[in-house]
Amino acid sequence: MLDVRGLRKVYSAGNREVEAIKDLTFTVDAGQLVCLVGPSGCGKTTLLRCIAGLLAPTGGQVLVEGRPVAGPPPGMAVVFQEYGRSLFPWMSVRDNVELPLKQKKVPRDRRRQLVADAIGAVGLAGTEGAYPWQLSGGMQQRVAIARAVAYEPSILLMDEPFAAVDAQTRADLEDLVRALWQRLRMTILFVTHDIDEAVYLGQRVLMLSSSPTVVQAELSVDLPAVRDQLHTRADPRFTALRTRVYEQIQAARRGTAAGLSDRIDERLGVDSE
Amino acid sequence: MKRLALALGLPVVLFVVWFVASYGSESFYVPPLRRILGAFADTWTLERLRTDVLPSLGRLAVGYALAATLGIAVGVAIGAYPRLRAAAEPVLEFFRAIPPPVLVPVIMLFAGIGNGMKVIVIAVGCVWPVLLNTVEGIRAVDGVLSDTARAYGITGVARLRHLLLRGASPQIAAGLRQALSIAIILMVISEMFAASNGLGFAIVQFQRSFAIPEMWSGIILLGLLGFTLSMLFRFVERRALGWYNGLREAQRKGS
């Protein structure tokens, strides 16, 4: 489904070069919900923009459904962290959800159906005529999710979508994402810096190192498929998993995880030149 | 009601002060306001409105529409392509710095003294604020929104229509507002240089034939015209940019 091979991204500003992503390789199978978690500033957003075809990588390749990504792939939808800046403020909720479908040349009746269904699915029925800025932050992010869902993507990218909403709203939105994922059977790649969120949501959690980024470790989440905020988070298995992720992230922050020593040596070698 | 009273209060006071202070005026050049008002009614008859005011307004409309179209079109292109902007910016700044009335004699040389000349003067003079504001507006279109549009395949004409033009519309409106007042000034000036009809022409004619109250009445009419046009503009702007005012209000409350 999604295949990231040896991805590397170097930003150059003038003579200075900053290596944001060193070498990333991972795959996401169709229908999986995979969470990417890493310390802040680890190049998560850069990675996501490369996958979304919004940024050209310096090296390596991203394949979506076997085809290399050169621009935004047609079957992909994206939900950004900055909901306030990713919805068109001059359009109503309905028009925001509908515009991508118009671009996709979805016939009118089908479009109406998809828009109504998506807005209903995120619990926003009745707000179709409102402008996004008339809604609360959590509701705005629901609109963005509705837009993504209505687009009927085969893969959905979410870039720290709940980082800017309050805790209660966040819990509701997490459950919404899991419910939509189970109902619509799409592939979701969910980027977050929140360890609990990653474990709660994901089937798999990929932990990234700090920048320049590599995949530090991977964990498969063997929690039951039906999860809820109260019981799942109190489950000893959940606690154990989040502890393991936490350790890896801490190690990544220090840059001294076991099994990474060769990489460290290599980096020291570079530094001494 | 209160707002209306507040808005009308000062103009009424000024008018009354003018009326009273000039009531016994003996000066030939500053006649009493009552005589000016009398001349206003006698001068600006329907016939006169047709022969002098309508041609002026027609030239204003055509020149302004040309400037708006050209300014927005070129502004979008320059705003969207950084290379084009780098190449064009110094030239634009130069042209903007030239006071537009200076263009009248120059444009007269090749466009003659007909309607064409006046339309060109108005268009050339007021294209700059539209153009420069459009460039700024396009540049200020949010990066996240732009990424979103790309990710959802909103490209080409749809991108222009739904993202760039709408996103830049607050700045474009600001440019159009500036351009409107410049357009009125240039309409009058171009008619003062060389014309056979129009408001500017009429005012100069009155002055040359020492019809002083009539001259003053023409100036009042111009003032009223400018005021009406800017009210009209505000009305349209408020409707078209309702979302922008709402958004700003929401952001103020939020922060």
Phi-psi category of residue A116: left, alpha or beta, with phi > 0 → left and psi -120 to 50 → alpha: alpha
When CB atoms are compared, the residue of B143, B150, B247 closest to A72 is B150
Whole-number Cα distances in Å, B128 to A73, B56, B121, B183, B189: 40, 21, 12, 11, 18
Question: How many alpha carbons fall within 13 Å on the CB side of residue B109?
Answer: 4
Tally of domains within chain B? 1
Parts of chain A with a pLDDT under 50? 256-273
For residue A255, the model assigns a pLDDT of 64
A105 touches B at CB < 8 Å: no
Q: Which residue segment(s) compose the domain that B161 sits in? A: 52-254
For residue A263, the model assigns a pLDDT of 47
CATH no. of A2-68+189-272: 3.40.50.300
Please answer yes or no on whether B152 and A99 come within 8 Å at the CB atom. Answer: yes
Please answer yes or no on whether A103 and B153 come within 8 Å at the CB atom. Answer: yes
Spatial separation of the C-alpha atoms in residues A142 and A157, rounded to whole Å? 15
A72 touches B at CB < 8 Å: yes
In a domain, B31, yes or no: no
Residues 6+ apart with CB under 8 A from A19: A8, A9, A10, A211, A212
Please answer yes or no on whether A90 and B153 come within 8 Å at the CB atom. Answer: no
Of the residues A49, A87, A88, the best mutation for testing chain B's interface (the one with the most B CB atoms within 10 Å of its CB) is A88
B143 CB neighbours in chain A (<8 A) are 85
Whether residue A212 is preceded by a cis peptide bond, meaning omega within 30 degrees of 0, is yes
What is the tens place of the pLDDT at every residue in B136-168? 999 999 999 999 999 999 999 999 999 999 999
When CB atoms are compared, the residue of A72, A85, A134 closest to B151 is A72
* Over residues B93-99, mean pLDDT: 86
Q: Are A52 and B151 in contact, with CB atoms under 8 Å apart?
A: yes
Q: Could you tell me what percent of chain B has a pLDDT over 70?
A: 100
HEC secondary structure over chain B: CHHHHHHHHHHHHHHHHHHHHCCCCCCCCCCCHHHHHHHHHHHCCHHHHHHHHHHHHHHHHHHHHHHHHHHHHHHHHHHHCHHHHHHHHHHHHHHHHCCHHHHHHHHHHHHCCCHHHHHHHHHHHHHHHHHHHHHHHHHCCCHHHHHHHHHCCCCHHHHHHHHHHHHHHHHHHHHHHHHHHHHHHHHHHHHHHCCCCCHHHHHHHHHHCCCHHHHHHHHHHHHHHHHHHHHHHHHHHHHHCHHHHHHHHHHHHHC
B150 CB neighbours in chain A (<8 A) are 54, 71-72
In a domain, B8, yes or no: no
What is the tens place of the pLDDT at every residue in B236-252? 999 999 999 999 998 88
Please answer yes or no on whether B153 and A72 come within 8 Å at the CB atom. Answer: yes
Please answer yes or no on whether B144 and A85 come within 8 Å at the CB atom. Answer: yes
For residue B193, the model assigns a pLDDT of 85
In a domain, B248, yes or no: yes
Spatial separation of the C-alpha atoms in residues B120 and A74, rounded to whole Å? 47
User: DSSP E strands: which ranges in chain A?
Assistant: 2-13, 16-28, 33-37, 59-64, 67-68, 76-79, 155-159, 187-192, 204-208, 213-220
The CATH number assigned to the domain holding B185 equals 1.10.3720.10
Mean of the per-residue pLDDT values of chain B: 91
Q: Are B203 and B36 in contact, with CB atoms under 8 Å apart?
A: no
How high is the ipTM of this complex? 0.85
Whole-number Cα distances in Å, A181 to A44, A153, A196, A237: 22, 11, 18, 22
B239 touches A at CB < 8 Å: no
A175 touches B at CB < 8 Å: no
Nearest residue on chain B to A55, judged by CA atoms? B147
Nearest residue on chain A to B152, judged by CA atoms? A100
Please answer yes or no on whether B151 and A134 come within 8 Å at the CB atom. Answer: no
Domain boundaries, chain A: 2-68+189-272
In a domain, B132, yes or no: yes
| DSSP secondary structure code for residue A69 in this structure | P
Confidence tier at B2 by pLDDT (50, 70, 90): confident
Give exposure, B20-39, as e/b (b: 16+ Cβ within 10 Å): eebeeeeeeeebbbebbbeb
